[in-house]
């Protein structure tokens, strides 16, 4: 009788252990694939240890100049959830997803999240998402993650997608998101207070990545050094910028990674104002290790350039 | 834009250009004589590869380490070019130079692939940044090129002899190879230093174009150099001024200015620096060539209009812009009114979008808009954009309709006249060169 009971107990224990192991591996195994590092950062915050997050565009690579490779197809194929920027910014993703043939990952599928849903868009130009000009600013200005308030909307979309794919963990996902929102609110208050003394300041930027950032922190980006994406400025353009900048009282030149710095430094020197290198994406500068660090870096760098005393 | 402001913007780029022209034109004379025109492109790309490797390893390109890496790769290239000169009896050296260039470019892309922010560095090397050059850099260039120029002046005898012949009398193979290698080495130093400022394309122009202009007028080296330097400096000034006046990117404008200078020099050579009878002949030939080109363009454009009126018509569009003719002249009253309205409305809707953009931008620093208001603005902008696109579509449809009528009224006569002109020219040409089949004497 003892041996039979032991066998039975042992079998139950093994079965239980196997079930637990399977369940654990299944959860740790939900691969979320995000198009960019910014969406990956928000997905990590919302998913917590329910997910492992991967990015297609590596950190410090210009997403607007990104060309996908065969390895990226493999990444997407095994994705449990796909989070994309939308607005034609990651138009190359459509072709990759089509190649996998998995309709869960296509628009309308259960594992598809378009993070631009519900975002209040700026600079709507009404072009189709099918990227007519080959450039990423087709439908509207796509850099919406640079407004931390928009991260709340993005986290909602991601949480909704995760809840669709992991219905049993809805409560945990919601709790993760609440924690993220609380941290975000505290951080937004801190950042807004740091840049409040320079609200309304006029800036010149290299590339038009800043409308959402400018709206949140009340900055006025009056002109851009780059006349068209990828085209270097002509001397007449630089002269106009310098003349216009002096007249308007520009107080700093904002430059982002991925572009040669010399035109921005030249304009800054002619205007006699500081040159500020701000990050447009998590990982584009070494200090911007995650979503909060991205804004910490940008806010502190801009505040220092504009002469705001550090608190 | 005041002249003083323009000059203050362009004085340092001009000074840098003068320094570049002086040394590069001289080296270009050598390159032309050795008949390896693409070597400078290959070496420039190799030095760009070296600078990129240094960048990937964490050194700034303008640091000593960066320069050392760039120079190391250029030296490798110089050695390869010297070695392949011996093989030029079997295979043209141009083949090796071409392969070297392609390999260097591909390697640069691979290196940059692994290193973040390397792409901006490569972009800078291709486009260059001569407009934003700083005074200390200009002085450094002047000093470096002065030293190299002096060395070449001291070694001018053997250098020039080796350039013209593969095996000049009285010199051993080793001596020739040594002078070759020294030439490529100094070439490498110069190109490594100039590529990061002027960019690969402009460096190529500095090297080849003035030397070609000089070589058109003389074989004697001092004369060639004098002409090359004057032409190069003039072209640089023209390019810089043109980029300012016409609002063009500087590097590209300067390259085109060099090409223009070459074309003008060619014209001058054909029409000015020749005896009177030859000049008349050349003049007639040039006039004929221009006439044939113009008539052929008109004929092709008219035929294109007749057979495909709905397609883009570049020559016709240019004519319409200058003469003030347009689709409205070929449409009936109702269609004409619709076309004019569509043009007006498209502009109006685009202005509405711009006004909404301006309003949203002003709200960022003034009374802020709520998210709901921003969404409403976006929805209006979307509608206006779609309406503008609708009007542009109407314009396109009506323009195609007008062109379909225009092709018989304008296209057919133009084609007939152009054809008649070409036939006349051809027969005039035939009369001038009588056939030599007048029969047996």
Torsion of CA A115, A121, A127, A130, to 10 degrees: -10
Among candidates A119, A66, A82, A111, which has minimal Cα distance to A281? Answer: A66
Between residues A133 and B293, the one the model is more confident about: B293
Residue A52, both tokens:
């492992």
B52 close contact with A: CB closer than 8 A:
no
- Considering only the beta carbons, identify the residue of B116, B249, B374 that sits closest to A231: B249
Rank A229-233, A307-311, B89-93, B98-102 by mean pLDDT and report only the highest. Answer: B98-102
Measure the CA–CA gap between B278 and B352, rounded to whole angstroms: 63
The tens digit of pLDDT for each residue in A138-169 reads 789 999 999 999 999 999 999 999 999 999 99
Q: Partners of A33 in the beta sheet?
A: A54, A82
Separation of CA B51 from chain center: 24
Q: Inter-axis angle of helices B39-56 and B64-86, to 10 degrees? A: 140
Number of Cβ within 10 Å of residue B5's Cβ equals: 14
pLDDT of residue B58: 81
The tens digit of pLDDT for each residue in B3-36 reads 677 788 889 999 999 999 999 999 999 888 887 7
Partner-chain contact B384 A126, CB within 8 Å: yes
Measure B254 CA to nearest chain A CA, in Å.
Answer: 12
Q: Phi, psi (5° rounding) for residue A252?
A: -165, 155
- Pairing mode, if any, of strands A275-277 and A252-255? parallel
pLDDT of A47 higher than 50: yes
How many residues are recorded in chain A? Answer: 311
Separation of CA B10 from chain center: 20
Q: What is the mean pLDDT of residues A232-240?
A: 88
For tokens 């909404």, name the residue: B356
Q: What is the mean pLDDT of residues A33-60?
A: 94
Task: Judge whether A33 and A102 are in contact, CB under 8 Å.
Answer: no
How many residues are recorded in chain B? Answer: 441
Provide the edge-to-edge strand list for the sheet that holds A220-224. Answer: A220-224, A202-205, A252-255, A275-277
B10 close contact with A: CB closer than 8 A:
yes
Helix (H) or strand (E) holding B192: helix B173-198
A70 close contact with B: CB closer than 8 A:
no
* Burial label, B173 (beta-carbon count in 10 A; 0-12, 13-18, 19+): exposed
* N- to C-terminal Cα separation, chain B: 74
Helix (H) or strand (E) holding B25: helix B3-34
pLDDT of residue B327: 87
pLDDT of B126 higher than 80: no
Partner-chain contact B250 A237, CB within 8 Å: no
Q: Partners of B324 in the beta sheet?
A: none
B60 close contact with A: CB closer than 8 A:
no
Measure the CA–CA gap between B41 and B74, rounded to whole angstroms: 11
pLDDT of A13 higher than 70: no
Q: What is the mean pLDDT of chain B?
A: 86
Residues 6+ positions from A147 with CB-CB distance below 8 Å: A212, A213, A215, A216
Confidence band, pLDDT 50/70/90 cuts, at residue B171 = low
Residue B166, both tokens:
């593969």
The tens digit of pLDDT for each residue in B289-313 reads 999 999 999 999 999 999 988 888 8
Measure the CA–CA gap between B189 and B290, rounded to whole angstroms: 43
Measure the CA–CA gap between B231 and B226, rounded to whole angstroms: 9
Measure A167 CA to nearest chain B CA, in Å.
Answer: 30
How far, in Å, are A70, A297, B54 from residue A262 at the CA level?
35, 22, 19
Rank A86-90, B124-128, B168-172, B179-183 by mean pLDDT and report only the highest. Answer: A86-90
Confidence band, pLDDT 50/70/90 cuts, at residue A133 = very low
Residues 6+ positions from A101 with CB-CB distance below 8 Å: none
B121 close contact with A: CB closer than 8 A:
yes
pLDDT of residue B440: 52
Measure the CA–CA gap between B252 and A270, rounded to whole angstroms: 23
The tens digit of pLDDT for each residue in A257-291 reads 888 888 899 999 999 999 999 999 999 999 999 99
Q: Where are the alpha helices (DSSP H) in B37-115?
A: 39-56, 64-86, 93-114
pLDDT of residue A129: 52
Chain B hits for A262, Cβ within 8 Å: 124, 129, 132
The tens digit of pLDDT for each residue in B229-280 reads 999 999 999 999 999 888 888 888 999 999 999 999 998 888 887 788 888 8
Among candidates A220, A226, A183, which has minimal Cα distance to A202? Answer: A220
How far, in Å, are B39, B242, B262 from residue B378 at the CA level?
54, 40, 52
Give the range among A4-18, A184-198, B286-300, B413-427 with minimum mean pLDDT: A4-18
Provide the edge-to-edge strand list for the sheet that holds A51-55. Answer: A51-55, A30-34, A81-84, A112-114
pLDDT of A200 higher than 50: yes
pLDDT of B431 higher than 80: yes
Measure B112 CA to nearest chain A CA, in Å.
Answer: 10
Task: Judge whether A83 and A161 are in contact, CB under 8 Å.
Answer: yes
Task: Judge whether A177 and A152 are in contact, CB under 8 Å.
Answer: no
A52 close contact with B: CB closer than 8 A:
no
Measure the CA–CA gap between B205 and A229, rounded to whole angstroms: 26
The tens digit of pLDDT for each residue in A101-117 reads 888 999 989 999 999 99
pLDDT of residue B117: 67
Confidence band, pLDDT 50/70/90 cuts, at residue B175 = confident
Q: What is the mean pLDDT of chain A?
A: 88
B251 close contact with A: CB closer than 8 A:
yes
Confidence band, pLDDT 50/70/90 cuts, at residue A131 = very low
Partner-chain contact A236 B245, CB within 8 Å: yes
Number of Cβ within 10 Å of residue B126's Cβ equals: 15
DSSP string, A24-75: HHHHHTEEEEESSHHHHHHHHHHHGGGEEEEESSPTTS-GGG----HHHHHH
Residue of A nearest to B122 (CA): A260
The tens digit of pLDDT for each residue in B133-152 reads 889 989 999 999 999 999 98
Measure the CA–CA gap between B113 and B370, rounded to whole angstroms: 42
pLDDT of residue A204: 97
pLDDT of residue A83: 97
Measure the CA–CA gap between B232 and B17, rounded to whole angstroms: 9
Measure the CA–CA gap between B27 and B186, rounded to whole angstroms: 9
Measure the CA–CA gap between B68 and B18, rounded to whole angstroms: 25
pLDDT of residue B439: 47
> What is the DSSP secondary structure assignment for residue A269, as one 8-state letter?
H
Q: What is the mean pLDDT of residues A228-248?
A: 87
Q: How many contacts does A have with B, using Cβ atoms within 8 A?
A: 120
Helix (H) or strand (E) holding A213: helix A211-217
The tens digit of pLDDT for each residue in A15-34 reads 666 566 555 555 466 999 99
pLDDT of residue A135: 47
pLDDT of residue B114: 67
pLDDT of residue B441: 46
For tokens 């997403």, name the residue: A63
- Considering only the beta carbons, identify the residue of A60, A218, A232 that sits closest to B249: A232
Measure the CA–CA gap between A121 and B186, rounded to whole angstroms: 56
Measure B6 CA to nearest chain A CA, in Å.
Answer: 8
Among candidates B52, B67, B43, which has minimal Cα distance to B112? Answer: B52
Confidence band, pLDDT 50/70/90 cuts, at residue B161 = confident
Task: Judge whether B233 and B17 are in contact, CB under 8 Å.
Answer: yes
pLDDT of B438 higher than 60: no
pLDDT of A66 higher than 70: yes
């Amino acid at each position: 009788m003892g041996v039979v009971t032991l066998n039975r107990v042992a079998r139950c224990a093994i079965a239980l252990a196997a079930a637990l192991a399977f369940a654990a591996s299944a959860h740790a195994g939900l691969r979320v694939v995000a198009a960019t590092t910014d969406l990956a950062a928000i997905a990590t915050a919302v998913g917590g240890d329910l997910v492992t997050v991967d990015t297609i565009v590596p950190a410090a690579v210009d997403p607007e100049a990104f060309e996908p490779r065969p390895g990226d197809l493999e990444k997407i194929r095994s994705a449990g959830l796909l989070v994309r920027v939308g607005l034609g910014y990651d138009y190359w993703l459509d072709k990759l997803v089509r190649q996998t043939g998995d309709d869960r990952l296509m628009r309308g599928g259960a594992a598809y999240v378009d993070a631009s849903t519900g975002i209040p868009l700026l600079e709507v130009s009404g072009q189709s998402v099918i990227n007519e000009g080959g450039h990423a600013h087709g439908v509207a200005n796509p850099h919406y993650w640079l407004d931390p308030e928009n991260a709340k909307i993005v986290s909602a979309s991601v949480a909704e997608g995760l809840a669709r794919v992991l219905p049993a963990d809805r409560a945990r996902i919601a709790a993760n998101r609440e924690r993220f929102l609380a941290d975000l609110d505290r951080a937004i208050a801190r950042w807004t207070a740091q840049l409040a003394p320079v609200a309304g300041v006029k800036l010149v930027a290299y590339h038009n990545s800043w409308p959402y950032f400018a709206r949140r922190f009340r900055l006025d980006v009056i002109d851009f050094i780059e006349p068209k994406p990828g085209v270097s400025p002509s001397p007449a353009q630089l002269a106009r910028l310098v003349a216009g900048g002096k007249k308007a009282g520009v107080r700093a030149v904002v430059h982002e990674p991925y572009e040669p710095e010399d035109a921005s430094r030249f304009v800054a020197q002619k205007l006699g104002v500081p040159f500020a290198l701000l990050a447009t994406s998590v990982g584009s500068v070494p200090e911007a290790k995650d979503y909060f660090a991205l804004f910490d870096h940008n806010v502190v760098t801009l505040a220092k350039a504009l002469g705001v005393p550090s608190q | 834009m005041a002249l003083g402001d323009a000059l203050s913007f362009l004085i340092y780029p001009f000074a840098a250009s003068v320094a570049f022209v002086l040394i590069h034109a001289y080296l270009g004379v050598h390159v032309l004589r050795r008949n390896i025109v693409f070597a400078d492109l290959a070496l420039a790309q190799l030095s760009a590869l070296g600078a990129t490797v240094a960048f990937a390893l964490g050194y700034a390109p303008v640091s000593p380490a960066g320069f050392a890496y760039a120079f190391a790769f250029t030296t490798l290239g110089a050695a390869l070019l010297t070695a392949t000169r011996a093989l030029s009896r079997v295979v043209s050296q141009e083949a090796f130079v071409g392969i070297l260039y392609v390999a260097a470019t591909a390697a640069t892309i691979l290196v940059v692939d692994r290193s973040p922010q390397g792409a901006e560095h490569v972009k800078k090397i291709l486009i260059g940044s001569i407009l934003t050059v700083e005074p200390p850099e200009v002085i450094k260039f002047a000093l470096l090129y002065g030293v190299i120029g002096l060395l070449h002046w001291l070694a001018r005898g053997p250098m020039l002899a080796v350039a013209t012949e593969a095996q000049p009398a009285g010199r051993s193979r080793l001596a020739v190879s040594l002078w070759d290698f020294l030439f490529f080495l100094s070439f490498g130093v110069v190109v490594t230093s100039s590529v990061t400022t002027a960019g690969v394309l402009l460096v190529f122009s500095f090297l080849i174009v003035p030397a070609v202009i000089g070589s058109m007028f003389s074989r004697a080296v001092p004369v060639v150099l004098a002409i090359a330097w004057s032409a190069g400096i003039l072209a640089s000034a023209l390019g810089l001024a043109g980029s300012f006046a016409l609002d063009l990117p500087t590097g590209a404008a300067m390259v085109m200015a060099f090409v223009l200078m070459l074309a003008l020099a060619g014209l001058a050579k054909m029409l000015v620096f020749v005896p009177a009878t030859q000049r008349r002949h050349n003049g007639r030939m040039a006039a004929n060539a221009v006439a044939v080109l113009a008539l052929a363009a008109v004929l092709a454009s008219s035929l294109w209009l007749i057979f495909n009126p709905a397609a883009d018509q570049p020559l016709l569009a240019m004519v319409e812009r200058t003469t003030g003719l347009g689709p409205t002249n070929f449409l009936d009253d109702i269609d004409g009114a619709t076309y004019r309205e569509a043009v007006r409305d498209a502009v109006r809707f685009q202005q509405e979008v711009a006004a909404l953009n301006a309003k949203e931008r002003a709200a960022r620093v003034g009374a802020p808009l709520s998210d709901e208001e921003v969404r409403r603005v976006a929805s209006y902008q979307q509608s206006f954009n779609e309406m503008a696109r609708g009007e542009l579509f109407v314009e396109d449809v009506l323009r195609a309709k007008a062109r379909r009528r225009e092709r018989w009224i304008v296209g057919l006569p133009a084609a007939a006249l152009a054809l008649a002109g070409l036939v006349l020219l051809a027969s005039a040409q035939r009369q001038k060169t009588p056939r030599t089949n007048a029969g047996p004497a």
